[in-house]
A and B are shown apart, each in its own frame.
Chain A
Amino acid sequence: MSKTVFRYFFDFLDGQKKWLNSMAEQGYRLKKCGRLTYTFDECNPNEYEYAVEFIGDKSFSKGQDYRRYLESMGFRTFIKNMNLNFSYGKIKWRPYAKGLGQIATSPGGFNKELLILEKKRDGKPFELHTDVHDKLDTYKTARRAYVWAVLLMLGLVVITFVPGISSVSITVTWAIRAVILFFGILLVIPTVKYSSLVNQLKEESKTFE
């Protein structure tokens, strides 16, 4: 029997991974995912294991290449969005990405920032990044995406202070600011978490390669 769950993660890497693994522990195997939904099939508890990879910094073709590669390594893959933007026929600038990855189009790489990976639980840890330098790069990339999101929220708050920017009442303006602030804080939490991870890894990379 299938089960569909509505969920959105601000902590899109570790938070999402933990949740998917807790579902797998209870005997649910991911069947498909939509922007806000996850559909599961029943399976044996602890049969599968999940990991989440951020590919929003890669161009569409590089992201595809990485996906094909991971499938060749024996993982089942799902594409997942990071943003909640319902659009079609659109071009977006991703300031946190590298090279061609900075331009995301829909249809194309936009709304496909994450890869969810599944493997059978085999007792070995499901770690995609094992080298300190590579881990450092991975978390730096994730942190960069969060920092830009927080900056965007700050920018939005600043805009509301521009005189004559909108015709809504003071109360509504403050309500808007409160909402932006709320989402801003939700984004600050993972930013701080990934920052501390990056700093820990930087220390470690001085001793280990």
Chain B
Amino acid sequence: MTETTFLVLLAAYRPNHGYGIMQFIEKKTNGRVVLGAGTLYGAINALIKKKWIVPFGNEADSRKKEYVITDTGKQKAQEELKRMGEVFELASTIIKGERNK
């Protein structure tokens, strides 16, 4: 999973619209990740296609359309967290080991 995908998934744990997702990501990464609107649009649509997020409520006006994570999405996010945890462990061991030499 790309970082963009993962961050969008995390932003959708609560119903959120496009602009809200973008702000969430910028705020939570302290401005390290600022998604372009086009990239975000692609990510949202790809996640809907995979059914990891779904439109929330029945707002017909796409200007206010909100999205929320599904159970499949949550499961994928957990798997990603586990994978990242493993990478983190490995990297910590090696990089710290190098420093302590």
Contacts and interface: CB of A to CB of B under 8 A. Distances in A.
Among A73, A74, A209, chain B packs the most CB atoms within 10 A around the CB of A73
Contacts of B62: 65, 68-69, 72
A131 interface: yes
Contacts of A133: 2
Contacts of B71: none
Interface string A25-68: 00000000000000000000000000001000000000001101
A75 to B, nearest CB: 7
B41 interface: yes
Interface string B40-54: 011100000000000
Interface residues of A, number: 22
Contacts of A85: none
Interface string B2-35: 1110000000000001110010000000000011
B63 A131 contact: no
A74 B39 contact: no
B37 interface: yes
A171 B15 CA distance: 68
Interface in B56-100: 62-65
A131 B22 contact: no
Given A73-B18, A128-B38, A130-B39, 20 more contacts: A65-B62, A68-B62, A69-B18, A70-B41, A72-B18, A72-B63, A73-B22, A73-B37, A74-B19, A75-B37, A124-B34, A128-B39, A129-B39, A130-B4, A130-B34, A131-B2, A131-B36, A131-B39, A134-B39, A209-B2
